[in-house]
Amino acid sequence: MAAYLPLANIELPPLDAEALADLQALAAESMGWQPLGEGAYLHIGAKDDPEQVIHVVGIPDAAWAGFDVLLLT
């Protein structure tokens, strides 16, 4: 029977900038963010929001649901 290591005990090499950018893009798009161009995503919140404020952020987060958010990575 094979021995399995807990995930916390597995050493992974650090990610290079391109791999990290790919993971950030995947995370953003999986939460419904729309790609605008390289490193820029838009999340449309409530379309009936009278304030029409766009928040600019650097990390995609599901907590921004309901807000208009521009992600720049």
- Mean of pLDDT values over 1-26: 76
Distance of CA 8 to the CA centre of its chain: 23
Residue 17 inside a domain? The answer is: no
pLDDT of 27-70, one tens digit each? Answer: 878 877 788 777 777 777 766 766 666 767 677 777 777 777 77
Residue 66 inside a domain? The answer is: yes
Residue 1 has pLDDT above 60, yes or no: no
Residue 69 inside a domain? The answer is: yes
- Containing structural domain, residue 46: 34-73
Residue 69 CB burial class (10 angstroms; 0-12, 13-18, ≥19): buried
Predicted local distance difference test score (pLDDT) of residue 57:
67
**Dihedral sign (CA 32, 25, 27, 46):** negative
pTM: 0.47
